[in-house]
A and B are shown apart, each in its own frame.
Chain A
């Protein structure tokens, strides 16, 4: 199937972009990427299977109406049958708009390649990660928004041509007044490794030991809901049923009891390590490795052990 992949501006080197292009490549047809802004580095996506990258450089910032028009123009220009997004905040705004504009069924939160033997169905996360659903799409053009960390990027060693593209994006309706991007931090939904802590840490002043571990690992930090609610940590770190749902390779949870609403957002993690002073904490039932102990002692020891490991390897 001919696929079109939308990539966020300046995200040509992001892992989530490699995943989306790999996914498109595995659909078996020609792969075109569409993006806006600076085209520098776009050709690198050829390595993952993109044949062509269309870049509309007439704009450097775009709202979701403009991006919708851009992607719709690219679908028209390429005759794509499947449109792929990485399921991030941009996709969550653009993909539904595009669904209406193109009269194309939308699958959000896909975690696997589609089954095309009998119709077109795709596996998605539902009930905040407590279950999976198989969604069938009945329309001619299909839109898939792929959950990060669902597919391994594959280097196929190709090259992509980069072409200027006019997406007829029109004017912006949303005016950006200010942007705050914390430097150097890893966006939680895309992180491979996550260190998380809960009320067991007793206060925001104690997060140093959590951050130390995250730094040594190169992990993102997360927290339980009460910790964000009382303001010990920023809201965007709150994971769970009413927070961010994540599926990293490794999730380390310290001082978190493992309430059902917390588990909902993290049980897609490949490996879960739980550190809790209470051997009866429900989180141990969902864990792969458990340590019954005081987080204030265990976290620094784990950080030390990891430092030794990193130095030796």
Chain B
């Protein structure tokens, strides 16, 4: 099975979130980038498990600049076979999806996997856009994925429950918790990653659909009001009369 896994970088989850240039840019000062957890823990690892059981190839693709090669090497160290970097700043989801879809179209993948969202922009946009560009089915937020020939069996979250569905390949699947367990790369993987093929491709021109103009931070919380544990009637009263939430 020929699998393409889309990976994105995201700031380490403990990063301090701040902005520069008059609040128009994310402040990267001191920020450590990681592979977006959903892409790494679920999409990539499940792709590798499928390859290990039924054979095939796992290609990873990211849209980013040279600095992003560290996340590519990490994904290769975990076990992907080869990597593609579209050499461009990932300005919005439409831009990223256009680049990935173009590459995918030319390379006949049976399966395109992504994480369910990135933890920085939380857009859940790229996978669905790629599916529409490729005109293939899209199973979103899957927590299980099994393959039987050209049939995929998936478990996915739906509004207020779970659904078991079947889809034929080629298809796009976005991966959520439950799909696989995080893998820590070992020394052999890290060494091997250095020599695995990494293809760098120039982006194609794309019309700008959306752009982030500015950012802001939530207002600081006022001090927490402490309540005596033996006086829950007081809490109920405050929630009703002061906070007005019950």
Listed in ascending order, the chain A residues whose CB lies under 8 Å from chain B are 8, 11, 63-65, 68, 88-90, 92-101, 103-109, 121, 125-128, 130-139, 173-182, 185, 187, 192-193, 217, 228, 235-236, 238, 241-243, 245, 249-250, 260-261, 264, 267-268, 270-271, 273-274, 284-294, 297-298, 301-302, 304-306, 308-309
B112 located at the interface, meaning its Cβ lies under 8 Å from any Cβ of chain A in the complex: no
Which B residues are CB-close (under 8 A) to A132?
215-218
**Using a Cβ cutoff of 8 Å, how many contacts connect chains A and B?**
263
Cα-based distance from A242 to B120 in the complex (angstroms): 11
Which of B46-54, B60-68, B151-159, B185-193 has 4 or more CB atoms under 8 Å from chain A?
Answer: B151-159
CB-nearest residue of chain A relative to B210? A105
Which of B71-79, B161-169, B197-205 has 4 or more CB atoms under 8 Å from chain A?
Answer: B161-169
Which B residues are CB-close (under 8 A) to A174?
137, 139, 165-167
Contact of A308 among B129, B209, B229, B233 (CB under 8 A): B233
Cα-based distance from A226 to B123 in the complex (angstroms): 25
Check B143 against A173 for contact (C-beta < 8 Å): no
How many chain B residues have a CB neighbour from A under 8 Å?
80
* 24 A–B pairs (Cβ distance < 8 Å), ordered by A: A64-B128, A68-B132, A89-B159, A90-B159, A97-B132, A99-B129, A106-B125, A109-B123, A126-B120, A127-B122, A128-B122, A133-B121, A135-B211, A177-B166, A179-B161, A180-B163, A182-B161, A270-B243, A285-B224, A290-B226, A292-B226, A292-B229, A306-B246, A309-B240
Which of B1-9, B12-20, B81-89, B102-110 has 4 or more CB atoms under 8 Å from chain A?
Answer: B12-20
Cα-based distance from A228 to B143 in the complex (angstroms): 14
Cα-based distance from A181 to B207 in the complex (angstroms): 41
Check B232 against A298 for contact (C-beta < 8 Å): yes
Per DSSP, chain A at the interface is: mixed
Check B132 against A101 for contact (C-beta < 8 Å): yes
Contact of A235 among B177, B209, B213 (CB under 8 A): B177
Check B163 against A179 for contact (C-beta < 8 Å): yes
Cα-based distance from A221 to B119 in the complex (angstroms): 23
Check B245 against A135 for contact (C-beta < 8 Å): no
Check A106 against B213 for contact (C-beta < 8 Å): no
Check A173 against B168 for contact (C-beta < 8 Å): yes
Check A131 against B13 for contact (C-beta < 8 Å): no
Check B159 against A136 for contact (C-beta < 8 Å): no
Which residue, A68, A174, A185, has most C-beta atoms of chain B within 10 A?
A: A174
Cα-based distance from A98 to B153 in the complex (angstroms): 25
Cα-based distance from A106 to B215 in the complex (angstroms): 18
CB-nearest residue of chain B relative to A93? B140
CB-nearest residue of chain B relative to A299? B232
Extra inter-chain contacts (17) besides given A131-B216, A292-B229, CB under 8 Å: A94-B128, A95-B128, A96-B124, A97-B132, A125-B122, A133-B121, A137-B210, A175-B166, A178-B163, A179-B161, A180-B163, A187-B160, A261-B13, A271-B245, A286-B221, A288-B225, A298-B229
Check B210 against A135 for contact (C-beta < 8 Å): yes
Which B residues are CB-close (under 8 A) to A93?
128, 138, 140-141
Tell me whether A241 and B209 are in contact in the complex, defined as CB-CB below 8 angstroms, given that A88-B159, A108-B122, A177-B166 are known contacts. no
The 4 closest A-B pairs by CB, nearest first: A96-B128, A293-B229, A181-B161, A105-B209
Check A288 against B221 for contact (C-beta < 8 Å): yes
Nearest-neighbour CB distance to chain B for A34, whole angstroms, equals 17
Which B residues are CB-close (under 8 A) to A178?
163-164
Check B224 against A100 for contact (C-beta < 8 Å): no
Nearest-neighbour CB distance to chain B for A58, whole angstroms, equals 20
Tell me whether A127 and B246 are in contact in the complex, defined as CB-CB below 8 angstroms, given that A68-B132, A179-B161, A242-B38 are known contacts. no
